[in-house]
């Protein structure tokens, strides 16, 4: 009888260790997902957290989004060439854009500094703007 008990005890231990291992792995993954990553370098800890939306000009984004929904052709033209936002000839050939920028001059400045916040740009354009900003300050 002791011979038949041992295999069943081993089987039960194997099953229990499998459940326990899955529980520990799941718990560790949940803790890792809920805690922001931390890097320890020397005597410094760098904590990576979400920046949040405080301080973002969300009213600008909403105004431009409304404009973009009404004028998708202009938005498509600005996406690959965001520097066109500062072109008087482009604004002159698109009166709706000229009117929008005259009534929202702060959007023109913010767009020039951060065009990727307003339109989806191709990666090559975004990299070029990072190297050569639209507005030199």
Q: Write the pLDDT tens digit of every residue in 82-128.
A: 889 888 999 999 999 999 999 998 888 888 888 888 888 666 655 66
Domain boundaries, the chain: 2-47, 58-131
Residue 48 or residue 7, greater confidence:
48
Residue 2 or residue 102, greater confidence:
102
**Residues above pLDDT 70, as percent of the chain:** 57
Cβ(109)–Cβ(86) under 8 Å? no
* CA neighbor of 108 nearest in space, from 129, 126, 84: 84
Q: Which of 2-6, 23-27, 75-79, 131-135 has the lowest mean pLDDT?
A: 23-27
Residues 49, 123, 61: CA angle, nearest 5 degrees: 60
pLDDT of the residue at 33: 52
Residue 112 or residue 36, greater confidence:
112
Which is it for the CA torsion 126, 128, 130, 134, positive or negative? negative
Q: What is the mean pLDDT of residues 33-53?
A: 72
pLDDT of the residue at 110: 86
Q: Is the pLDDT of residue 80 over 70?
A: yes
pLDDT of the residue at 136: 46
Cβ(30)–Cβ(23) under 8 Å? no
85-88 contacts at long range (C-beta below 8 A, 24 or more positions apart): 85/111, 85/112, 85/115, 85/134, 86/112, 86/134, 86/135
Cβ(74)–Cβ(65) under 8 Å? no
Q: Say whether pTM exceeds 0.85.
A: no
């Amino acid at each position: 009888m002791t011979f038949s008990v041992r295999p069943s005890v081993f089987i039960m231990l194997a099953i229990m260790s499998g459940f326990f291992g899955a529980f520990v792995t799941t718990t560790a993954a949940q803790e890792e997902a809920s805690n922001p990553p931390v890097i320890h370098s020397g005597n410094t800890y760098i904590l990576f957290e979400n920046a949040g939306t405080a301080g973002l000009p969300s009213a600008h984004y909403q105004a431009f989004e409304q404009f973009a929904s009404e004028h998708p052709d202009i938005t498509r033209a600005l996406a690959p060439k965001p520097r066109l936002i500062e072109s008087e000839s482009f604004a002159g050939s698109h009166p709706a854009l000229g009117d929008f920028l005259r009534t929202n001059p702060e959007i023109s400045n913010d767009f020039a500094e951060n065009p990727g916040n307003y339109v989806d740009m191709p990666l090559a354009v975004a990299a070029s703007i990072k190297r050569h900003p639209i507005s030199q300050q």
